[in-house]
């Protein structure tokens, strides 16, 4: 018995549309998500990311289209079965009352309760809860009270609760919100190591480029790009979706896309002159660069284009 039982589920979203009143929130979204991998759900504020996660989880019903999890139509699953198979971690999730960490994570076992009065199965549930806490690196917090934890610790507890659910599919709505940079990187790296089929709504494009295998980019309820990070995160798609100017360069460690945003309201036409005594950095691989090399990438590319 482990927390990753049946984790490599296939997820197919077919022609999904959803309206609230006259307002179309999602419009004919279709996507096949790679099993056992992390899919990043991107898009500007109000694009429909949270709504899509709620539709995938079966909490909202689509007006048209379907979500199929390992061949089962999610909208037709009973609530208990969808809770057993899908864990959704919504933004700022909180148990409401001040429970111990152990009890918060134990809430993840509710969909698996058996018997007339739905009791927990004791040792087995305890084992799964302990394993879930260990998987996200917070076994030492087991007996702490929820309200005594920092935002980042609470976020990890919620992920442990989702794991204790033993889902086939993990849905995370902005899981790195309020986390410091260290906590953001380690949380997403842990999520990736879990090997679950995961969909994570993210605002930070560089985190998405680093930790996601596959990306979906939503804009005004429509899917405007889908594929590996290097295909989706181009200056053109980022400009079209977010209205910002950027360069995309290979990350010095690993080669995945690194998005360097052009400052808004600040001239970038001339690279700043090197300061006397400016430091030269060296990467672990031995490449040497100065701060000027980094900021002048755009100018170099523009200059090369002008020379053609």
Ligand X SMILES: Nc1ncnc2c1ncn2[C@@H]1O[C@H](COP(=O)(O)OP(=O)(O)OP(=O)(O)O)[C@@H](O)[C@H]1O
Using the minimum distance from each CB to ligand X, give the nearer residue, 9 or 29: 29
Binding segment toward ligand X, per CB under 6 A, in 43-51, 191-199, 227-235, 299-307: 43-51
Residue 216 CB, nearest approach to ligand X (Å): 11
Using the rule CB under 6 A, is 47 a contact of ligand X?
yes
| CB atoms near residue 244 (< 10 Å) | 15
Chain positions 280 to 299 lying near ligand X, rule: CB under 6 A, are: none
Binding segment toward ligand X, per CB under 6 A, in 39-47, 70-78, 121-129, 297-305: 39-47
Residue 220 CB, nearest approach to ligand X (Å): 8
Using the minimum distance from each CB to ligand X, give the nearer residue, 91 or 148: 91
Q: Which of 11, 29, 38, 48 binds ligand X (CB under 6 A)?
A: 48
State the angle between helix axes of 181-194 and 151-164 in degrees (0 to 180), rounded to the nearest 10: 10
Residue 104 CB, nearest approach to ligand X (Å): 24
Using the rule CB under 6 A, is 46 a contact of ligand X?
yes
Give the binding-site size for ligand X (rule: CB under 6 A).
10
Using the rule CB under 6 A, is 43 a contact of ligand X?
yes
Residue 19 CB, nearest approach to ligand X (Å): 10
Spatial distance between the Cα atoms of 24 and 286, rounded to a whole number of angstroms: 52
Using the minimum distance from each CB to ligand X, give the nearer residue, 50 or 296: 50
Residue 249 CB, nearest approach to ligand X (Å): 26
Spatial distance between the Cα atoms of 56 and 199, rounded to a whole number of angstroms: 10
Binding segment toward ligand X, per CB under 6 A, in 48-56, 131-139, 222-230, 282-290: 48-56
Q: Which of 91, 38, 79 is nearest to 216 (CA)?
A: 38
Chain positions 10 to 29 lying near ligand X, rule: CB under 6 A, are: 20, 25
Using the rule CB under 6 A, is 111 a contact of ligand X?
no
Strand partners, 33: 11
Binding segment toward ligand X, per CB under 6 A, in 45-53, 58-66, 106-114, 230-238: 45-53
Using the rule CB under 6 A, is 169 a contact of ligand X?
no
x-or-dash string of contact with ligand X, 143-162, rule CB under 6 A: --------------------
Query: Which residues of the chain form contacts with ligand X (CB under 6 A)?
Result: 20, 25, 43, 45-51
């Amino acid at each position: 018995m482990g927390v990753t039982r049946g984790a490599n589920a296939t997820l197919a979203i077919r022609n999904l549309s959803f309206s609230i009143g006259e307002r179309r929130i999602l419009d004919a979204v279709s996507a096949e998500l790679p099993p056992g991998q992390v899919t990043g759900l991107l898009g500007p504020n109000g694009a429909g990311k949270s709504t899509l996660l709620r539709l995938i989880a079966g909490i909202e019903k689509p007006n048209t289209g379907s979500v199929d999890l390992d061949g089962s139509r999610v909208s037709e699953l009973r609530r208990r079965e969808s809770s057993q198979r899908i864990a959704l971690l919504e933004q700022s999730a909180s148990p409401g009352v001040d429970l111990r960490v152990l009890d918060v994570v134990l809430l993840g076992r509710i969909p698996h309760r058996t018997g007339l009065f739905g009791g927990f199965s004791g040792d087995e549930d305890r084992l799964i809860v302990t394993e879930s806490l260990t998987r996200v690196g917070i076994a030492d917090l087991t007996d702490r009270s929820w309200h005594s934890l920092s935002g980042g610790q609470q976020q990890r507890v919620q992920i442990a609760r989702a794991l204790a659910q033993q889902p086939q599919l993990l849905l995370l709505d902005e899981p790195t919100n309020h986390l410091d940079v260290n906590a953001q990187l380690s949380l997403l790296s842990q999520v990736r190591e879990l090997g679950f089929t995961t969909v994570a709504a993210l605002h930070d494009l560089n985190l998405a480029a680093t930790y996601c295998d596959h990306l979906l980019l939503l804009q005004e309820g429509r899917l405007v790009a889908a594929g590996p990070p290097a295909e989706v995160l181009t200056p053109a798609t980022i400009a079209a979706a977010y209205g910002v100017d950027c360069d995309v360069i290979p990350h010095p460690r690993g080669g995945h896309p690194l998005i360097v945003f052009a400052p808004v309201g600040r001239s970038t036409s001339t690279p700043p002159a090197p300061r006397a005594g400016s430091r030269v950095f060296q990467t672990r691989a031995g490449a040497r660069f100065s701060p000027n090399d980094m900021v002048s990438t755009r100018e170099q590319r523009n200059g090369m284009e002008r020379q053609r």
